[in-house]
Amino acid sequence: MKFKDPWNPTQKEIKKWAYSDEMEPVQDWELAIYKFENIPMICTFVEDEQCEHTSYFLNTLYVFTGDTVRVGDNEEIQKLSQLLDTMEKTAESKELQLWNERSQLLIEYPEYYENSYWGICSKFVYDI
């Protein structure tokens, strides 16, 4: 699959990749797709059994939360908190509900940030 720019993919390109069996287009691609505007779409992939990359997208959510909290920008954290409040009402899968609960706890207790859980290859997702 070809991307015009894998570091700035469109939602259409992300969705097409989500339902393909291809490897990530570039290493650490999570960092390219975890923009606020993509999070609701990423959540739908996590809950869709037809999606080929559910674990990848779940990991993306953990990296997104971890980076947002670690950077410590209060406006961005507030935006994340509002997003989590919205997602809490719509999340159906256990995985998405757990991400939401863990994310809210990390916002409340940022000192518990640990890269092995909130970074790429999250132990929450891959249990490494």
Domain range for 70 is: 40-114
Q: Is 18 a member of any domain?
A: no
- Read off the pTM: 0.95
Note the pLDDT of residue 128.
55
Contact (CB, 8 A) for 59 and 29 = no
Q: Among all chains, which residue has been given the structure tokens 């606020």?
A: 36
- Please give the tally of structural domains in the chain: 1
Q: Is 28 a member of any domain?
A: no
Give pLDDT tens digits for 68-122.
999 999 999 999 999 999 988 899 999 999 999 999 999 999 999 999 999 999 9
pLDDT for residue 1 is more than 80: no
Q: Is 108 a member of any domain?
A: yes
- In terms of Cβ atoms closer than 10 Å to its own Cβ (0-12, 13-18, 19+), residue 59 is buried
Q: Is 48 a member of any domain?
A: yes
Q: Is 126 a member of any domain?
A: no
Q: Is 83 a member of any domain?
A: yes
Q: Is 53 a member of any domain?
A: yes
Contact (CB, 8 A) for 60 and 110 = no
| Among candidate residues 17, 113, 29, 121, the one with its CA nearest the CA of residue 69 | 113
Q: Is 10 a member of any domain?
A: no
